[in-house]
Every structure is written in structure tokens, then in C-alpha cells.
């Protein structure tokens, strides 16, 4: 409607001008004005403010967790832990993001590799690193993976665990490439944009495949990390220890 109003207004002005000009000038002004109107019309049609706002939410959530400080990071060390009932699993990583040198440390072995040159063993190990890094830095992945995801923002949603009203950011990965093709994640957060709960949905199915809390946040040299993730009504917990940022 706003576009039509602008068009009507411009055509009235054009009509008045045409009456006072000779035939040649009429045609010149008409063509020039049509070009301007076309530009105005195109501008109102193509600018999608909602899409711009939703695109920005990816960076806003990442920045709330310290993404703007990532460029300063020389080395990130962390241990990924999972406790389920009476069992415990852990593995540690040292990542130098500027060179992408990675060290994988388990009770059985230590492996050093670089993303630029991975053999079959390193490639298999790297799958574990991608998983563990995602749990640690998922808000940053919103920016890192932005070219391979679609997303939507719901301003008023009910969080699945706490049942509190929160914002919900849903991302869905493309069907090709990466380690989670076609999978979906729902991030729940308040006005501070710090993730409090999330849901993983395999292959973008409607029902949750997994949901956990995001808690025990710590600011480590500018990176805000949730060190504890717990599953409701379960003895499962996933957590991080030995997190160091240099």
C-alpha cells in the first residue's frame, strides 16, 4: 500500500509537468521519472526488514557469548565429559584456530593433526572434535555456519525444560555437506541472548531427539562458556573441564 501511494503521488506530479512541456521534453522527463519510480518501487519491494532482523540475531547471540573476542584467541584447550548413570567418558582437545593445528588426547593415545592435511585416522578423530567443539561453542557456530543454515526467530515461545517464556531461534542445516546434514537445532534464550536450553532434532523431525540445559556459565578471557548441560529426568550430563583460552 505504501508503494502504491508513492506511485500515485509521483504520477500526479508527472502529469502536471507534461502539460507545460513540449512533446520532446515530455518524453524525456517521462522516461527519467519512470526510472526513478522503478527505483523507488524496487527498493520498497526488495527490502525485507524482518529478514534483516533475523539475520542479525545470529551475530547478536554469538556476540553475547563473546564472539567478538574470538579473533584474539591463539589456543583453546578443553576436556569434553559425559556421565550417564555410572559410566564416564572424556577426551581432551588443544586447538590453535589461527593455524588449525589440533591435538586430540584420550586415555589411550594422543594424536596431532591439521585440518589442511588429514589422513583417514585424523578424519575419524576430527568427527569427535567437531561434535565436542559444537557443544562448547554452538553460539559461535551460528556465524561460522551461516552460509549453510536457514533460520527463524520466534519472540514468544515456551522453553521445553523450564517451561518459561523465552525467544526461540531455530536453525536447519542444508542437506549436503558437514557433519549434521538436514539436522535442526532450537536455541532458547532471554533478553540477554544467553542460551539457556536447546533442542536437537535429527533430520529436522518434529519431535526432539535430545534436549538439555545450558548452565554454569563462565567468562574465560572474553569467551562466555556454558560448562554444564543436563537432560531432564535423566542421569545424563555433559560438561566441560579444564577450559583454557590463550
Residue 246 near residue 73 (C-beta atoms within 8 A): yes
Residue 209 near residue 200 (C-beta atoms within 8 A): yes
pLDDT above 80 (res 12): no
pLDDT of 40: 32
Question: Taking residues 120-133, what's their average pLDDT?
Answer: 97
CA distances from 13 to 16, 30, 37, 86, 239 (A): 5, 11, 12, 80, 68
Question: Taking residues 3-16, what's their average pLDDT?
Answer: 40
Residue 229 near residue 212 (C-beta atoms within 8 A): yes
Q: Considering only residues 15 and 210, tell me which one the structure prediction assigns the higher pLDDT.
A: 210
Residue 213 near residue 196 (C-beta atoms within 8 A): yes
Residue 240 near residue 81 (C-beta atoms within 8 A): yes
Mean pLDDT of the chain: 84
pLDDT of 7: 37
pLDDT of 179: 80
Question: Taking residues 215-234, what's their average pLDDT?
Answer: 97
Q: Considering only residues 197 and 178, tell me which one the structure prediction assigns the higher pLDDT.
A: 197
Question: Taking residues 122-130, what's their average pLDDT?
Answer: 97
Q: Which long-range contacts (CB under 8 A, 24 or more apart) does 45-54 make?
A: 45/3, 53/153, 54/151, 54/152, 54/153
pLDDT band of residue 6 (cuts 50, 70, 90) is very low
Which tens digits make up the pLDDT trace of 133-151? 999 999 999 999 999 999 9
Of 233, 244, 230, 245, residue with least CA distance to 83? 230
pLDDT above 70 (res 99): yes
pLDDT of 35: 35
Top-level class of domain 50-245:
mainly beta
pLDDT band of residue 180 (cuts 50, 70, 90) is confident
| Beta strands in the chain, from DSSP E residues, in sequence order | 76-84, 87-96, 101-105, 110-114, 149-158, 165-173, 184-189, 195-201, 210-213, 215-220, 223-230, 236-245
pLDDT of 45: 30
Residues 128, 19: Cα–Cα separation, whole Å: 75
pLDDT of 185: 98
pLDDT above 70 (res 49): no
Amino acid at each position: 500500500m505504501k508503494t502504491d501511494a508513492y506511485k500515485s503521488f509521483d504520477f500526479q506530479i508527472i502529469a502536471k509537468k507534461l502539460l507545460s512541456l513540449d512533446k520532446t521534453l515530455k518524453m524525456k522527463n517521462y522516461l527519467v521519472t519512470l526510472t526513478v519510480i522503478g527505483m523507488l518501487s524496487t527498493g520498497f519491494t526488495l527490502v525485507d526488514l524482518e529478514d534483516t532482523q533475523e539475520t542479525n540475531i545470529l551475530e547478536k547471540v554469538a556476540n553475547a557469548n563473546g564472539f567478538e573476542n574470538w579473533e584474539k584467541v591463539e589456543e583453546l584447550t578443553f576436556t569434553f565429559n559425559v556421565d550417564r548413570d555410572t559410566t564416564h567418558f572424556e577426551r581432551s582437545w588443544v586447538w590453535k584456530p589461527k593455524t588449525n593445528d589440533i591435538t586430540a588426547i584420550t586415555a589411550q593415545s594422543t594424536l596431532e593433526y591439521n585440518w589442511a592435511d588429514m589422513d583417514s585416522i585424523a578424519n575419524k578423530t576430527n568427527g569427535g572434535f567437531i561434535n565436542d567443539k559444537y557443544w562448547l561453542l554452538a553460539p559461535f557456530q551460528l556465524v561460522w555456519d551461516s552460509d549453510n543454515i536457514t533460520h527463524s526467530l520466534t519472540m514468544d515461545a515456551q522453553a521445553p525444560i523450564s517451561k518459561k517464556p523465552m525467544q526461540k531461534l531455530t536453525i536447519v542445516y542444508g542437506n549436503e555437506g558437514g557433519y549434521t546434514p538436514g539436522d535442526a537445532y532450537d536455541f532458547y534464550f532471554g533478553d540477554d541472548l544467553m542460551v539457556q536450553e536447546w533442542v536437537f532434532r535429527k533430520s529436522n523431525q518434529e519431535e526432539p531427539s535430545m534436549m538439555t540445559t545450558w548452565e554454569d556459565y563462565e567468562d574465560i578471557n572474553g569467551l562466555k562458556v556454558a560448562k554444564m548441560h543436563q537432560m531432564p529426568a535423566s542421569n545424563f550430563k555433559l560438561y566441560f573441564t579444564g577450559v583454557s583460552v590463550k
